[in-house]
Amino acid sequence: MTTDHTPTPFAWRGRVDPEESGPTPRWHERVRPLRPDSQGGVTLIGFAVDEGVRRNAARVGAADGPRAIRAALANLPVRGEPELHDAGDVHCTDGALELAQEQLAMRVASAVERKSLPLVMGGGHEMAWGTFQGVVSALPSSHRLLIVNLDAHFDLREASQGNSGTPFRQMHEWCMAHGRPFNYRVFGISEYANTQALFDRAQAMGVRHWLDDQLQNEAGLEQARLALAGDLQACDAVYLTICLDVLPGAQAPGVSAPAALGVPVAGAQVLIDEVLASGRLVAADIAELNPVHDRDGLTARVAARLAARVARGACRQKLQA
């Protein structure tokens, strides 16, 4: 089985404003192909894969996510973003998901070693296992890695094969095997999208979580933000992963599993900004964009907004360091 299209590099193009006075650069004018000597900035990596989604019996189509996010990013104005490098896409041929995750891990590790922030765009949330492996490979001495997930699901499933529902269980197993603490925090969990077995497993693993119900007003969001701030102070590095299905289905219809409630974009941004303000972010990814089911490109636009926010925040944290 082939789970991707023939790899074709994305052509960055978009609007220009020659008659405007003042700065008018847009992403398509600033993104450059990754070179062997590229340093710093942000490295965009596409995970054009939804084999893990297929294995998890969800609706496929997320393999086209990276292209849709790039298309939505192309016309965004540049307002503080650092240098932007495009490392192309990881693909999955003949169902070889584990090989695709290894390839992603190598690209993530390379970016971290070049002092660049890897920003992975997907693609199914099975990407998280690849991103994590890249981070721990590049930062072997970082024993206090905090994993922050914005997601309606724990993704701690037990399964004979890794899939989009297993990446954080796989991280837990890796941490136990290597004598590392498993510091996993997840915001936006739905009580109606996770079985009791998953809640029990999360508790046994020491996972702290916040329900989507708790993040609907300023008071609940502030409590979550303060808890996150404390966790960020106690870590050496943080890996931020955003599953777009944490957002309300009306704001993000183009995902594998749209949310009936979800955490509004404004609330998600508060938590993302807290991570960025810590100055400890070493990798980020945005998962589960499914353009096949998107409406008016809305989910792609939301994903692009969050990607640009991470890029701008990464630049500011470097300036403050």
Instruction: Quick: pLDDT tens for 203-243.
Output: 999 999 999 999 999 999 999 999 999 999 999 999 999 99
pLDDT of residue 9: 83
Q: What is the mean pLDDT of residues 93-106?
A: 96
Confidence tier at 316 by pLDDT (50, 70, 90): low
CA dist 195 to 19, 54, 318, Å?
57, 20, 41
Q: For 32, list phi and psi in degrees, rounded to 5.
A: -125, 150
Share of the chain above pLDDT 90, in %: 91
Q: In sequence order, what are the beta bridge partners of 149?
A: 186, 241
Domains of the chain in start order, with CATH, are 39-320 (3.40.800.10)
Question: What's the whole-model pTM score?
Answer: 0.95
Q: What is the mean pLDDT of residues 267-296?
A: 97
Q: Residue 215: enclosing H or E segment and its boundaries? A: none
Q: Which two tokens stand for residue 148?
A: 């922050």
pLDDT of residue 317: 58
Q: What is the mean pLDDT of residues 146-153?
A: 98
Share of the chain above pLDDT 70, in %: 96
pLDDT of residue 52: 96
